[in-house]
Structure 1
Amino acid sequence: MHTGITDEQLKQLLNDILEIYGYDFTAYTKASLKRRINRLYALDRFPSFAEFLYRIRTDQKYLNRFVEELTVNVTEMFRDPHFYGALREQVFPILATYPFIRVWHAGCSTGEEVYSTAILLKEAGLLHKTLLYATDLNPEVVKIAASGILPAGAMQLYSENYIKAGGNADFSSYYTANYGHVLFQSELRKRMVFSTHNLVADSSFNQFHLILCRNVLIYFERELQGKVFALFDESLENLGFLALGSKETLKLSPVISRYQQFGKDKIWRKK
């Protein structure tokens, strides 16, 4: 019976992954890592830790599965509708004054939040002058996000969230349904650029007016969060906006002196 990996085994596993593949999970919160690794270990029925480690070290395909399991973020469209309401009512009117708008969804997962933002930008009359960059560490979820295809079963919840976020059209007009899936409008997708990006190891690649990174940093230790905040700070225009998840804060970060909280939701504005 597998009782869960030890701290020593976890350390060895993370060091090997860093050394062989360049993925750095060493500053992710231990509890969340252990929970996810133990789940995978049990799911794939490894007889011993040594075999689990060997498989990860030698099988790139299996490593991809491992990364997917570790980085999977529970996501939904218009999650925390009041947050999207704040974007629509408080942030977009300011962005509307710019000739061109660049938005970065960091840790975009399967794309639900990118499509949410694009729909609201369209309704605000801003989508035609916006580019949305959507990145994630995990290449598999980036592929899904770029396809614009999501399960139809979730659309009722998403439609309710959309209405609570102040959506004012028929939500189903944004996609076509087919065989248990929906495909989002190409008009939304053509304003999006998808790529893999490692928040831990990769550098800044543009200057943005709005960066959204929601419910990703809760898995990082504080030191790593500080690194990521420095990356966002470098990537954000002056007077740009940074939006975090409901359990995340900029307050304890090294860059806080350059920001002020904007409204009640987890949105900060760079001074």
Structure 2
Amino acid sequence: MAAKVGAALPRNGEDIDDIEVDAFVQAMARRHGYDFSGYAPASLRRRVLALAQSMELAHVGELTARVLRDDALVPAVIARLSVPVSEMFRNPSVFRRLRDEVFPVLASHPHINIWQAGCAHGQEVYSLAILLKEAGLYERCQIYATDFSDEALARAQEGIFPIRDARLYSENYLAAGGRHTLSDYYHARYDFMKLDESLKKRVTFANHNLVCDGVFCEAQLILCRNVLIYFSDSLQDRVLGLFRDSLARGGVLCLGNRESIRFAPSARDFVPIDAELRLYRHAGGWA
């Protein structure tokens, strides 16, 4: 029997998943203002499917229905769709280069603004605070730690991490050029380490969405490590433009080791300090 003219062709399971993920993305944008349309499709699809499965839902359509009707569910959904994977002094050579090459330039400023975009659970924020303390710069700094997940921000503000990670963090700290021992900066109790409250003194935690929000502050240093890899090419370029507009003249941008600006139109606005370590200077020159 001939197919009916104009009738939709049968779709396999993968196509249905893609359609449902698209519907979910539209629902989050139109109902709650969170736009995931610029995220790398394969990565977003995996995370949305995993989220539906973790909630024991039969398909993504059920997840869409729930977020449309239950506002209280949205923070947990946002937290699961973000990728808050980090460690203190991750890639220590980057932090050592910041300490040796960038901090001396920052020292010429009477007041230093630093933006840690996509701060996740805060490990890198506290790493930066420790090195700034040891360089004698911390009291002149204002660190803005932002993320689009309120749940991630709450955990970052606590400054509490599993003690099982202390050995790795300590090794990273020494490799990054730490001058003391990491245990000088935390208190261990039971199975957790709580970072010293003094490390929060110059840190402001705030919600900011790189996808749709504008310039957050004028900064001499911006760190956004391993966030752009989850964005499409066009969204990556949009965010790089945001960082360009947020950097003071000659300011420094630090990206993750899996990221590159080589093919982005905005690359012309940055000069490599160390392309391998993903450190770039605003093309306007040092401030």
* TM bracket, shorter-chain basis: over 0.9
Q: Describe the superposition over 1:130-151 as per-residue Cα deviations: whole angstroms up to 9, x where unpaired.
A: 1110000000110111122222
Answer whether contact 1:152 1:181 (CA < 8 A) is retained.
yes
Structure 2 residue identity aligned to 1:156: R
- 2:8 maps to what in 1? none
| Aligned counterpart for 1:268 among listed residues 280, 283, 287 | 280
Q: Does 1:140 align with 2:162?
A: no
RMSD: 1.5
Determine which structure has more spread, i.e. the larger CA radius of gyration: 2
Q: Distance in 1 between matches of 2:58 and 2:282?
A: 51
Q: Secondary structure at the match of 1:260?
A: strand
User: How far, CA to CA, are the matches of 2:71 and 2:49 in structure 1?
Assistant: 19
Q: Moved runs in structure 1, 4+ residues, more than 3 A?
A: 2-5
The answer for the alignment partner of 2:10 in structure 1 is none
Corresponding residue of 1:163: 174
Partner of 1:255, secondary structure, is: helix
Counterparts of residues 40-189 of structure 1 (less than 5 Å)? 40-189=51-200
Shift in Å, 1:99: 1.0
Cα pair distance change 1:250/1:49, threshold 3 Å:
closer
Q: CA deviation at 1:38?
A: 1.4
1:195 to 197, 201, 206: 206
Contact 2:20 2:61 in 1 (8 A): no
Does residue 220 (structure 1) correspond to residue 231 (structure 2)? The answer is: yes
Could you tell me how far apart the structure 1 residues matched to 2:187 and 2:155 are?
16
3-state DSSP of counterpart to 1:262: strand
Q: Is the 8 A contact 2:92 2:172 kept in 1?
A: yes
1: distance between equivalents of 2:62 and 2:264?
40
2:24–2:63: 8 Å Cα contact kept in structure 1?
no
The runs of 5 or more residues in structure 1 that have no matched partner are none
Structure 1 position 5, deviation (Å): 5.7
What is the aligned counterpart of 1:236 among 233, 237, 247?
247
Gapped regions of structure 2 (runs ≥ 5): 1-12
What is the percent sequence identity of the aligned residues?
Answer: 40
